[in-house]
């Protein structure tokens, strides 16, 4: 009979999925220690959640998986559950633990169920609007595969590091900016896969020297995959804002994103409906290109606020492409005024 080894134990544990996700508990880095003593095994896991069903399911799944090892004696799985580091009672619940970023009061993620709905545009304008309302704000582009914040702020500057090897954010439009794109060369995302992405993301989020901030806005990659989960496992979020367009296909994905964040105890602070309508510059008429009322209905269904509706606006697109979000380039533009209002509502809702 083959002897039980740590490698065999880890291999077995890598068949156990994190509840509700396609990713396994080993690649998420939940396994902290494995002790093998003869045929007996003791595994120490560590995870951050406020949902008692998650550790229960992982413990049962892990013990059942280990029981399949030939010759195994007693298999014990202990789970160290970290409590939430940054509760947000005003937002209606505590986010899952993961560590707070020292000096940063609120971390707000901007997410979308699918790509191309204007998530980065919204994240950039929201960050500028929070700053214009008097807060100190950082913006971090976490989209490893399609970073766009550099483009939107007209910079591809490589950040410097401090003597302690911490990354100093770039300053633009009175914001502190950081993007995974600033550090990677163009070919890097293609070779970063699976667990490496997780590791890189975690390292990246911990190494930036943000200083004192009222808000750090995280532009998440689109969708509800492993990177999003890694981020919520790594950083204590105040909550998430979900960007959608009004069409049913986008709303279905927004709903999925909302379900994922709720499942991991990250408060959904609200929806922002982008490309809600088009105000024709020549006739002043409003055109509901993608139909109307979708965001409102979805927000009501999810029981979260609809934080705002952003029209399709040529100046908004042009400003983004030119390297300065419209809220910074032309604060009197109606879209900019809309973002300033969204930022005020958000600030009030998180109790800032
Ligand atoms: P995502 O981050 O969801 O992929 P982006 O923010 O990169 O989307 O936006 C995709 C494209 O749509 C960009 O060219 C952007 O300028 C444009 N866009 C986003 N929101 C608006 C808007 N409200 N009006 C006009 N163009 C917009």
Q: For 167-203, what is each residue's pLDDT tens digit? A: 899 999 999 999 887 876 665 555 566 667 777 777 7
CA 306 to ligand 1 centroid distance, Å: 19
CA 157 to ligand 1 centroid distance, Å: 23
CA distance linking residue 153 with residue 177, whole number of Å = 9
Q: Which of 12, 52, 48, 20 is nearest to 225 (CA)?
A: 20
**Range of lowest pLDDT (1-5, 70-74, 345-349):** 1-5
Ligand 1 atom showing the smallest separation from residue 320 Cα: 16
CA 120 to ligand 1 centroid distance, Å: 7
CA distance linking residue 252 with residue 241, whole number of Å = 16
Q: Please, where in the chain does CATH 3.40.50.300 lie? A: 104-349
CA distance linking residue 159 with residue 139, whole number of Å = 14
The answer on pLDDT for 90 being more than 60 is no
Q: How do beta strands 104-112 and 213-219 pair? A: parallel
Name the residue with the closest Cα to ligand 1, atom 12: 118
Q: Does residue 320 have its Cβ closer than 6 Å to ligand 1?
A: yes
Q: Does residue 201 have its Cβ closer than 6 Å to ligand 1?
A: no
Q: How confident is the model at residue 97 (pLDDT cuts 50, 70, 90)?
A: very low
CA 23 to ligand 1 centroid distance, Å: 30
The better pLDDT of the pair 227, 237 is held by 237
Q: Does residue 313 have its Cβ closer than 6 Å to ligand 1?
A: yes
CA 118 to ligand 1 centroid distance, Å: 4
Q: Please, where in the chain does CATH 3.30.300.130 lie? A: 6-91
Q: How confident is the model at residue 227 (pLDDT cuts 50, 70, 90)?
A: confident
What's the predicted TM-score (pTM) here?
0.75
Domain 6-91: CATH architecture, name and number where available: 2-Layer Sandwich (3.30)
The DSSP result for 210-244, as a single string, is --SEEEEEEEPPSSSSHHHHHHHHHB--SEEEEEE
Domain 104-349: CATH architecture, name and number where available: 3-Layer(aba) Sandwich (3.40)
CA distance linking residue 352 with residue 346, whole number of Å = 9
At residue 1, the pLDDT reads 55
DSSP SS3 for 263: helix
């Amino acid at each position: 009979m083959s002897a039980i080894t740590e490698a065999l134990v880890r291999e077995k544990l890598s068949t156990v999925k994190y509840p509700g996700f396609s990713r396994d508990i080993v690649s998420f880095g939940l396994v902290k220690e494995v002790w093998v003593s003869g045929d007996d095994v003791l595994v120490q896991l560590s995870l951050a959640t406020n949902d008692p069903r998650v550790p229960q399911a992982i413990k049962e799944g892990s013990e059942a998986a280990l029981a399949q090892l030939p010759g195994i004696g007693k298999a014990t799985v202990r789970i160290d559950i970290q409590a939430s580091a940054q509760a947000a009672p005003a937002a209606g619940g505590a986010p899952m633990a993961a560590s707070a970023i020292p000096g940063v009061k609120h971390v707000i993620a901007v997410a979308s169920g699918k790509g191309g709905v204007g998530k980065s545009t919204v994240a950039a304008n929201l960050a500028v609007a929070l700053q214009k309302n008097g807060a100190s704000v950082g913006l971090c582009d976490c989209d490893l595969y399609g970073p766009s914040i550099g483009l939107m702020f007209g910079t591809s500057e490589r950040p410097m590091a401090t003597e302690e090897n911490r990354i100093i954010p770039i300053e633009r439009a009175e914001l502190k900016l950081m993007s995974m794109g600033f550090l990677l060369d163009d070919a890097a995302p293609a070779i970063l896969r699976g667990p490496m992405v997780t590791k890189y993301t975690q390292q990246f989020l911990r190494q930036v020297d943000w200083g004192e901030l009222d808000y750090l806005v995280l532009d998440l990659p689109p969708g509800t995959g492993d990177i999003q989960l890694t981020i919520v496992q790594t950083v204590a979020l105040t909550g998430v804002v979900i960007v959608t367009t009004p069409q049913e296909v986008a709303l279905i994905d927004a709903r999925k994103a909302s379900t994922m964040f709720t499942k991991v105890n990250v408060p959904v602070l609200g929806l922002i409906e982008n490309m809600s309508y088009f105000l024709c510059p020549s006739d002043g008429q409003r055109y509901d290109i993608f139909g109307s009322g979708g965001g409102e209905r979805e927000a009501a269904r999810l029981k979260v606020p609809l934080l705002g509706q952003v029209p399709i606006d040529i100046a908004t697109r042009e400003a983004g492409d030119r390297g300065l979000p419209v809220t910074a380039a032309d604060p009197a533009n109606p879209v900019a005024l809309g973002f300033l209002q969204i930022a005020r509502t958000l600030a009030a809702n998180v109790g800032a």
